[in-house]
Amino acid sequence: MTAGQAIATKDLTLSYGDTIIINELDLEIPKGEITVFIGGNGCGKSTLLRSIARLLKPKSGAVLLEGEAIAKLSTKDVARKMAILPQSPSAPEGLTVLQLVKQGRYPYQTWLKQWSTEDELKVRNALKATGMEELKDRTVDSLSGGQRQRAWIAMTLAQDTDTILLDEPTTYLDMTHQIEILDLLFELNEKEKRTIVMVLHDLNLSCRYAHNIVAIKDQKVFAQGKPEHVINCGLVKNVFGMECEVTIDPLFGTPLCIPYGKGRCIIKGQGFQG
Amino acid sequence: MKKYYNLRLFGDKISFLVNRKALMTFLLLAVASAGVFVISTGTGEMKISPIKVVQVFFGGGSDMERLVIQSFRLPRIIVALMVGMALAAAGGILQGIIRNPLASPDIIGITGGASVAVVAFLAFFSDKNNALTVSINWMPLAAFAGAAIVAFLVYFLAYKDGVSPVRLVLIGIGLSSLMKAMTTLMMVFGPIYQASQANIWITGTVYGSNWDNVAILVPWTLVFLVLAYVLARNVNIQELGDDIAMGAGSTVQKYRFLLLMVSTALIGGAVAFGGGIGFVGLMAPHMARRLVGSAFGALLPASALIGGILVMAADLIGRTLFSPLEIPAGVFTASIGAPYFIYLLFKTRNA
């Protein structure tokens, strides 16, 4: 294994009961890049992410974090290297942003040492990076969806890990806030060289932000690589079962997928006729 | 004034972020508890002024005052304080690990287990003349055993690759109903005189507490309160959900078990000497959350003090309002608690 990989899976098989979700998967996730898992509903992309984060025990095989089997490391050691933000987390009523972000320091604390100078510094940096300094004394439940998600990201940042995993960090957010969150993650990757692995639903935004796309289908990786190399009509047809046209995003030059379907067609004679 | 104070000793070895408002609230609650304690000690058939009461605490006062306070009132009020603190702290822990504001010792069946044990104790150890064949001093032990057995039952029945909060609460509610049914069954079949005795116990009362009770309950409660405080940050992280907690490096299942055992020990001690005083474990943590927020390090002590005040006040009302008739303290905690519970349900429904 080279130094270029943050995470790898070896012969990884995941299942819920007897249902196999991911079968004998060998996957390498490059260090310092943004990797996005895509795939249809129920294809196992979230399951894969959860298993990488050790939230789900594999049926067989292993997840390697910086070359070491994750199951053999102590959970606190893993927590100092890799943070996970699950889908739509919820905070108890009345918890303030600062109290939430502070809990990202859990793997560094003991019961007597709960607020070291370093804890304070990392929490302050996390609040600053996410633009949450002004809101730190507000309660999490009083924030808007986008702010709330930023608060949770701040908590994972306070964990001070090289790798951050996020399961659909933009779900339930309006378009403005989706871009805001993805821009924030992109910046974290650019400035601090953090490895970011996430599950996203929006294929076009995935193409824009990801260095590396992993398309999952039928318990396997269907394709992996730079979006401009792997995303095409054939892939979308295969992975999502959807007819589309792939063109170039006029602003970013990344692949842009335009699905066919019904709906009002106002270009005469050019609508897809099936 | 800044909201937080950084407490750091020995170069970070001991370091805490202290919420000034929570600390102030805690101190105010401590003063209020002391106030209720003194007033309650001075109130009864023989009225003693608060100043005199404090004098008695420091060895002054007349012989009569000393007798009344030291022999009759003080053990009872100390037991009330401890019972309230224990139930409130346990309720706070349960609400945290179950991640549900409606969780409480009554709802997950632990108190119910103690009730069954007590009714069984009264039924099995009575002779034809309704006299107990063994010493009544064994009753607290029976209550404690009942609470502990049900807590273990709930835990192991809920176990499936670890214990999830939802399974814990569902199994708890199921067992709680079963315990109620068993209690009723035994009261119906048991001797009638003991049924009324049992009923008073189930409602919850600190009547008849003595210094022997105090000697057991005080150290027991304080030790587990301190232990709960040491585990506070594990409650905080669990409140964010199992995924977040595991992701942050917490061994969730281990701490969930430990926390459940600590709350069981607190509840067991409380019901053993105070009976099934209801709703304190539900109300007190809520009131505390309003006052100091939901960080558990601040919530736990505030909740404990509020619980202590509630039970001391309920007992004070119970033994003075219809004097010389004694009303069990549990009647008053329930009469505030039941409406409060409905209010909570109503509020969470709209949330």
Domain membership of residue A237 (yes or no) is: no
Nearest Cα of chain A lies from the Cα of B216 at a distance, in angstroms, of: 28
Name the band, by pLDDT with cuts 50, 70 and 90, for residue A52: very high
- Going by pLDDT thresholds of 50, 70 and 90, the confidence category of residue A179 is very high
B93-103 mean pLDDT: 87
Q: Count the residues in chain A.
A: 274
What does the pLDDT look like over A143-158, one tens digit per residue?
998 899 999 999 999 9
Share of residues in chain B with pLDDT > 70 (%): 98
Tell me which chain A residues have a C-beta less than 8 angstroms from the C-beta of B241.
86, 89-90
| Model pLDDT, residue A273 | 52
CA dist B104 → A12, A30, B50, B96, B193 (Å): 42, 48, 35, 10, 31
pLDDT band with cut points at 50, 70 and 90 for residue A162: very high
Query: Does residue A261 form part of some domain?
Result: no
Q: How far apart are CA B334 and CA A19, in angstroms?
A: 49
Please state, in angstroms and rounded to a whole number, the distance separating the CA atoms of residues A242 and A231: 13
What are the angstrom distances between the C-alpha of A31 and each of A65, A214, B148, B202? 11, 15, 50, 62
Confidence band for B317, pLDDT divided at 50, 70 and 90: very high
Question: Nearest CB to A55: which of B12, B243, B294?
Answer: B243
Tell me whether residue A20 is in a domain. Answer: yes
Calculated CA dihedral for residues A98, A103, A109, A114, nearest 10 degrees:
30
Nearest chain B residue to A160, by CA: B248
- Separation CA A156–CA A172 (nearest Å): 19
Would you say residue B34 has pLDDT above 90? yes
Confidence category of residue A274, pLDDT binned at 50, 70, 90: very low
The Cα A116–Cα A105 span in angstroms is 10
Residue among B6, B14, B248 whose CB faces A103 most closely: B248
The shortest CB-CB distance from A79 to any of B12, B247, B293 is to B247
Task: Say how many C-beta atoms besides its own lie within 10 A of residue B197's C-beta.
Answer: 21
Q: Is A99 in Cβ contact with B239 (below 8 Å)?
A: no
Q: Do A103 and B294 touch (CB under 8 A)?
A: no
pLDDT(B98) > 50: yes
Q: So what's the pLDDT on residue A154?
A: 94
| Cα–Cα dist A220/A40, whole Å | 13
Q: Taking Cα atoms as reference points, which of B317, B301, B315 lies closest to residue B273?
A: B315
Question: What DSSP state is assigned to residue A91?
Answer: P
CB contact B249 to A (< 8 Å): yes
- Tell me if A121 is assigned to some domain: yes
**CB of B240 less than 8 A from some CB of A:** yes
Nearest to A114 among B3, B17, B231 (CB): B17
Do B309 and B80 touch, CB atoms closer than 8 A? no
Q: What is the CATH number of the domain that holds A166?
A: 3.40.50.300
Q: Domain residue spans in chain B?
A: 18-350
Encode pLDDT of A74-132 as tens digits.
999 999 999 999 998 989 888 999 999 999 999 998 888 888 888 999 999 999 989 99
Q: Please check whether residues A214 and A157 belong to one and the same domain.
A: no
Count of structural domains, chain A = 2
Quote the percentage of chain B above a pLDDT of 90.
41
Taking contacts as CB-CB distances below 8 angstroms, the residues of chain A near B166 are: none
- Calculate how close chain A gets to B248, using CA atoms only, in Å: 5
**Do B294 and A104 count as a contact with CB atoms less than 8 A apart?**
no
Q: Do B247 and A86 touch (CB under 8 A)?
A: yes
> Which pLDDT belongs to residue B349?
66
- At residue A2 the predicted structure's pLDDT band, cuts being 50, 70 and 90, is very low
CB-CB: which of A77, A99, A137 is closest to B295? A99
* Region A47-62 average pLDDT: 93
Q: Report which DSSP code applies to A1.
A: -
Domain B18-350 has CATH 1.10.3470.10: yes
Contact between B248 and A53 using a beta-carbon 8 Å cutoff = no
Q: Are residues A69 and A167 in the same domain?
A: yes
Q: Cβ contacts (< 8 Å) between B289 and chain A: which residues?
A: 93-94
Contact in structure between A257 and A204 (CB atoms under 8 Å): yes
Q: Check CB contact of B248 with chain A, cutoff 8 Å.
A: yes
Rounded to the nearest integer, the mean pLDDT of chain A is: 91
Task: Single out the residue in A118, A141, A161 at which a domain terminates.
Answer: A161
Per-residue pLDDT, B143: 87
Residues A121 and A99 in one domain: yes
Which chain A residues have a beta carbon less than 8 Å from that of B99?
92
Instruction: Please name the residue of chain B whose CA is at the shortest distance from the CA of residue A78.
Output: B249
In a domain? residue A205: yes
Taking the Cβ of residue B348 and every Cβ of chain A, the question of whether any pair is shorter than 8 Å is answered with no
Residue B313 reports pLDDT greater than 70: yes
- Cβ-defined contact of B250 to A96 (cutoff 8 Å): no
- When pLDDT is averaged across residues B209-233 and rounded to a whole number, the result is 92
Distance CA A67, CA A28 (A): 11
Helix A117-129 and helix A145-158, axial crossing angle in degrees, nearest 10: 140
In a domain, A116, yes or no: yes
- DSSP strand pairing (A82-85 vs A163-167): parallel
CB-CB: which of A54, A115, A139 is closest to B6?
Answer: A115
Among A214, A191, A202, residue whose Cα is nearest residue A30: A214
> Is the same domain home to A57 and A188?
yes
pLDDT reported for residue B301: 96
Of B12, B13, B29, nearest to B21 by C-alpha is: B29
Task: Write the Ramachandran bin of B22: left for phi over 0, alpha for psi from -120 to 50, otherwise beta.
Answer: alpha
A159: nearest CA partner in chain B? B248
**Which domain does A131 fall in, by range?**
92-161
- Give the end of a domain, one of A161, A184, A206: A161
pLDDT higher than threshold 80 for residue B191: no
pLDDT above 50 (res B21): yes
Considering only A1-10, A231-240, B36-45, B255-264, which range has the smallest mean pLDDT?
A1-10
Q: Looking at the complex, report in whole angstroms how far the Cα of residue B84 sits from the nearest Cα belonging to chain A.
A: 24
Residues A135 and A35 in one domain: no
Closest partner residue to A93 (CB to CB) among B13, B249, B294 is: B294
**What does the pLDDT read at residue A245?**
93
B293 contacts in A (CB within 8 Å)? 94-96, 99, 139
CA distances from B263 to A186, B76, B91, B173 (A): 45, 23, 8, 17
Q: State the average pLDDT over residues B133-161.
A: 85
**What is the residue-averaged pLDDT of chain B?**
88
Is A268 a member of any domain? no
DSSP 3-state of A53: coil
Cβ contact A107–B249 (<8 Å):
yes
Beta strands (DSSP E) in chain B are: 4-9, 14-19
Mean pLDDT score, A248-263? 93
Domain edge (last residue) among A142, A161, A180: A161
Query: Which of B2, B294, B348 should we substitute to test contact with A (largest number of A Cβ atoms within 10 Å)?
Result: B294
Residue B249 to residue A78, Cβ atoms within 8 A:
yes
A167/A141 same-domain check: no
pLDDT at B343: 82
Question: In angstroms, what separates the C-alpha of B89 from chain A's closest C-alpha?
Answer: 17
Closest CA to B248 of A105, A198, A87, A168: A105
Whether residue A230 contacts residue A223, with contact meaning beta carbons closer than 8 Å, is answered with yes
Residue in chain B lying closest to A82 (CA): B247
The answer on pLDDT for A1 being more than 50 is no
pLDDT of residue B351: 53
Inter-chain CB proximity B17 and A53 less than 8 Å: no
Q: Specify whether A178 is located in the same domain as A212.
A: yes
Q: Is the pLDDT of residue B320 over 70?
A: yes
> Are A46 and A177 part of one and the same domain?
yes
In a domain, A44, yes or no: yes
CB neighbour burial string for B52-86, b if at least 16 within 10 angstroms, e if fewer: bbebbeeeebeeebeebbeebbbbbbbbbbbbbbb
Residues of A in contact with B251 (CB under 8 A): 75
Residue with the larger pLDDT of the pair A162 and B276: A162
Average pLDDT over residues B183-197: 80
> ω before B105 within 30° of 0 (cis)?
no
Q: Is the pLDDT of residue B18 over 60?
A: yes
